[in-house]
Structure 1
């Protein structure tokens, strides 16, 4: 029986910030520790968990990866997260460290609070909350409001709803962090990265270390072993939803899966996805497609106009070569138009 509490690391960050890439890098570099992984998806179709299971890293085995693909983890704490944690703790050979990758729309604070649940309080601790920031996206102003522009819009049309839920989620993720990773700095200049670090520091309520990264390459010793005890430090982690008690809504966001027929030209598909993203304000696209005359399936990731894709593995003989893309956007997005556009 283990006398010390098992540490858990929460990896937070907005859509497409690079959480799964960071997690894979950590698994590749951490070979002397038995780690369990909980992957949360926003939507019903698991994707990131499958990436990890197929990554070829010894620690990324199916038994050590638990997928929660039925919604935002911070909204399903009692129904799904706590039973999952209890099951890991009750294993005959429990993990030495647990890493939790939240969905891009999850609020970290309700999840941190869950570690005060009586059944796990004495057996686990939040070693640290690590928040990834997509440097090019933030540099483009995706999560920063222009107060003057908002004021002008409100004056022109008082009936408009000017709340920016995306910015609130982003700020909540920053304010809960024990470590902030400014990711994808290879896509911006060093001067821009330095300015972003200064801007982020101004938004958070306490001094938090901000480190820079490209492609999620971080020494595990920096990420695992923070010893924050975050569940006992909730007051220093303000949230926009503190006044709402345990309940909050994510009605501003929706996700759905689009079946995609066999594709001849990957680049043509990406150009179509970029056009759809611009037309329908899509936040995130990820999934797999079947490319004509190719024995391997194509894995696609997209945030804004930035897309990358690669062949990840051979199609198995026992599986249908179906293409599926997960689309995440704001509530009210025209799902039918997107689905129809991707059928041709």
Structure 2
């Protein structure tokens, strides 16, 4: 079967809080009626991203064409979760013309690309392209860039050290697998900072990859879809820090859900979230919050100590007005202290 006979799939990868869900929502809005389906994978127990996309009400991608995988990283549960989800979408009465897959912020994209070589799906789908979304402002601030001299000194003092910072590895692996890099949040950088981050990305990726700058994920479907990369046949050109490993895990990260009471003032909660993120070096917080006297739920998204929030939709009749936040950080988070700080 030729690539033209297969359903193209676009893998959207990117680190925590880079803006993948916002980019996908804009993609749906600019699909011009093309029939799409989504597979959304999250690291945590609250399906924030899938819920946001299901509530967008876009005709080209109805809610029943959005599949959420919440049993762990998609690249670790290929046989149990991903392949059955893919087969279910392809078996619909009106199968999708294009499938978009949003990985979690901790996923390595290459194992997922490898899954497209499985006999059960190889003849039916192809990886049209891997799109890596980068939080340009975070990278410009040095969130993932290790000090080479400090790293050298650490390596010399620790014979057991045989790899870089795990966050750096995840970030670089996502870039190394990409066919297109979206440098997001350009509005939060100076032109010089944006140019510097783009140059660093080009130096990291050992092949020609286009870097597109944007803010708030505003990239049209015409740019993101139709790359025709057939990435599953191009694995050798996509090196990974984990190529020598049979599999990988996420033991370097902790994730848990914090339940909160309804709040009276969103600004007070946001100040508490920011202070807690700074005090405990939290990578990511996201979730929905009930606000007293408000008929709509508050969507909260945080990357480090940088937070955004807005009311995304009304609480549905009979829906529990529950406030729940996913907290993600490197191994060793003090869960009790974080929960106490957020509940204060």
TM interval, short-chain normalised: over 0.9
Shift of 1:191: 1.9
What's the TM-score once normalised by structure 2's chain length? Answer: 0.95
Any gaps of 5 or more consecutive residues in structure 2?
none
- Give the structure 2 partner of residue 287 of structure 1: 287
Q: CA RMSD in A?
A: 1.7
What's the TM-score once normalised by structure 1's chain length? Answer: 0.95
Any gaps of 5 or more consecutive residues in structure 1?
none
1:331 and 1:78 map into 2 onto residues whose CA distance is 27
Shift of 1:154: 5.3
More displaced 10-residue stretch of structure 1: 10-19 or 144-153: 144-153
1:46 and 1:170 map into 2 onto residues whose CA distance is 22
- Deviation by residue 1:33-75 (Cα, 9 ceiling, x = unmatched): 1100000000222110110111132234221100001111000
Shift of 1:311: 0.8
Contact 1:150–1:162 (CA under 8 A) maintained in structure 2: no
- Give the structure 1 partner of residue 53 of structure 2: 52
Contact 2:285–2:326 (CA under 8 A) maintained in structure 1: yes
Question: Relative to structure 1, is the Cα distance of residues 124 and 157 closer, same or farther in structure 2, using a 3 angstrom cutoff?
Answer: closer
1:35 and 1:191 map into 2 onto residues whose CA distance is 37
- Give the structure 1 partner of residue 111 of structure 2: 110
- Tell me the SS of whatever aligns to 1:279: helix
- Give the structure 2 partner of residue 248 of structure 1: 248
Q: Report the number of matched residues.
A: 342
1:2-41 aligned within 5 A:
4-41=5-42
Contact 1:5–1:125 (CA under 8 A) maintained in structure 2: yes
1:142-161 aligned within 5 A:
142-153=143-154
More displaced 10-residue stretch of structure 1: 171-180 or 146-155: 146-155
Question: Relative to structure 1, is the Cα distance of residues 233 and 155 closer, same or farther in structure 2, using a 3 angstrom cutoff?
Answer: closer
1:231 and 2:232 are equivalent in the alignment: yes
Contact 2:302–2:308 (CA under 8 A) maintained in structure 1: yes
Shift of 1:289: 0.9
Shift of 1:156: 6.8
Contact 1:127–1:224 (CA under 8 A) maintained in structure 2: yes
Shift of 1:22: 0.4
Question: Relative to structure 1, is the Cα distance of residues 71 and 192 closer, same or farther in structure 2, using a 3 angstrom cutoff?
Answer: same
1:1-344 aligned within 5 A:
4-153=5-154, 163-245=164-246, 247-344=247-344
Question: Relative to structure 1, is the Cα distance of residues 163 and 203 closer, same or farther in structure 2, using a 3 angstrom cutoff?
Answer: closer
